[in-house]
Amino acid sequence: MVNAGESLQLQLGADLSGEFTASFLKEQRFALELITMHWGTEPMNGSEHTVGGVGYAGEVHFIHRNLQYANVELALKEPNGVLTLAVLLNESHDDNPTLAPIVDGITQIVYKGSECAVQRVDLRQLLPPAGSKFTSPFYGTKDYLS
């Protein structure tokens, strides 16, 4: 994990990068390469994106490289080279044990350029279970990108 100054970056090893495909991607394949996070000092000023003009406490970007390109540097130069999935964060008073290794690491990388190793985080634990009935219509057949 690295303090990049404007964000926190988690570089994934080759063995941790899963492949991402979807029908709307026209048979292109992407691999998760990097996760970046940023947040603000107030509950609604940490995201770079808004929904209906409302900001969020923070934002996470899951940056995927198109497997047509050998590395992220090459992929960034192409219009279809990188796919970013953004997740907006709300502030919570409850701890999330899945994120504990990241939260613990933040205290070790206070200065820009500092870095530390982070215990493996199972990001799938952050997704609702398959068939989750959290949104209307409340069918048990919904699935989530993972």
The answer to whether residue 45 is domain-embedded is yes
Is 8 in contact with 37 (CB distance < 8 Å)?
yes
pLDDT of residue 17: 62
Query: Which H helix or E strand runs over 102?
Result: helix 100-106
Share of the chain above pLDDT 70, in %: 81
Indicate the number of domains in the chain: 1
Is 131 among the domain residues? no
Which residues lie closer than 8 Å to 116 by C-beta, 6 or more apart?
1, 105, 108, 109
CATH number at residue 22: 3.10.200.10
Please check whether residue 132 lies inside any domain of the structure: no
In a domain, 139, yes or no: no
Side chain identity, residue 68: Q
- Distance, CA of 31 to CA of 79 (rounded, Å): 16
pLDDT band, residue 146 (cuts 50/70/90) = very low
**Domain housing 91:** 2-126
Assigned domain for 134 exists: no
Residue 46 covered by a domain: yes
Looking at the domain assignment, is residue 9 inside a domain? yes
Q: Report how far apart, in Å, the C-alpha atoms of 56 and of each of 48, 66, 111, 126, 146 are.
A: 8, 28, 24, 18, 23
pTM: 0.79
